[in-house]
Structure 1
Amino acid sequence: MEKLRKVLTGQDDEEQGLVTQVLDASTLSFGTRVRWFAICFVAGVVCSILGTALLWLPQGIKLFAVFYTLGNIVALASTCFLVGPVKQLKSMFDPKRLIATVVMLLCLILTLCSVFWWDKKRFAAVLFCILQFLAMTWYSLSYIPFARDAVTKCFTSCLA
């Protein structure tokens, strides 16, 4: 019946873009969005903490890198529930966040490459996880007005 109504009113599915169709099909209430955001964010944090705990096992460097990276990805993806995936991707690659996003994604990839294909696994994995944390922090600060400026001024005053 819905298709008949669209044809009669002159609305075709082809007029709507694929993104619009997906967003219309997956409309969630605000409460549901907040709940799933919280669930995914907490799951991401738990994965990162679990990964850090696994680092201290004798051969836990691979598990550490995988769980820590997975935790960061899940925590980052949790914001898709609040603003939607398309808007999240657009804001991630906004010019003021572009460098932080690229560094963060590069560190995610390099962390996994370091434990699976490189020789100096432990040092490189820990280094890239630290860089992941710093890039994710800098990226997150870009959403708070004047937060990056405040952090920059704080560090320059400490170093001067």
Structure 2
Amino acid sequence: MDKMNQAFEKVKMLVGMEVDEEQPVPEEESTFSFMEDLNRNCSLTTKQRFYGFAICLSAGLTCTLLSMLVFFNPIKFGITFTLGNLMALGSTAFLIGPQRQVSMMLDPARIYATALYLASIIVALFCALYVRNKLLTLLAIILEFSGLIWYSLSYIPFARAMVSKIFVACFDTEF
């Protein structure tokens, strides 16, 4: 059991979690933000965090993969693909906590990528559920997938700059 706890500690360090457990916050302070209150009330053990992450990520990936079965029905595809993306995105909140997840998403380096990705999710769901137009839903899914890639690249240092330079080099018409 001790080896398992040491392995959890190593994994926690790898994913950026704090190794020491958080200290309980005194009850006398009454000025808490919503996220601080959520973090304080959602204190999970390390094992519960990893289980939550694994379950949420596997459900998201399963939902995304199952969306390929209904690829030719863009409305159903848009709903299942978007639900899978949201579950996979939410799975990381189990590892690093919801407050840190939101603060990382709102970091100045990735605020535009986050806004693009979240807006594309809303547009895809709007087109699939409300408009029910297959062509618009398909275009929204392409936008969502592009937003997902750009958002994911924002977590890799210099990845967006490198991809931008590659696209400029590939599509540059001046010789």
* TM-score strictly above 0.5: yes
Change (3 A) 1:68 1:18: closer
Give the 5 Å matches for 1:1-160: 12=28, 14=30, 19-56=35-72, 60-118=73-131, 121-160=133-172
Give 5+ residue unaligned stretches, structure 2. Answer: 1-25
Aligned amino acid, residue 64 of structure 1: F
TM-score by structure 1 length?
Answer: 0.79
Range moving further from structure 2, 22-31 or 135-144: 22-31
Aligned amino acid, residue 35 of structure 1: Y
Aligned amino acid, residue 83 of structure 1: I
Corresponding pairs, count: 147
Aligned amino acid, residue 50 of structure 1: L
State whether residues 53 and 91 of structure 2, in contact with CA within 8 Å, keep that contact through their aligned partners in structure 1: yes
Change (3 A) 1:103 1:32: same
Identity, % of aligned positions: 35
TM-score by structure 2 length?
Answer: 0.73
Give 5+ residue unaligned stretches, structure 1. Answer: 1-9
Q: Any idea what the Cα deviations from partners look like across 1:24-64, whole Å, max 9, x if unmatched?
A: 343233343233223212211211121221123xxx33321
Aligned amino acid, residue 39 of structure 1: I
Q: Following the alignment from structure 1 to structure 2, what is the Cα–Cα distance between the partners of residues 12 and 47?
A: 44
Q: RMSD over aligned Cα, in angstroms?
A: 2.2
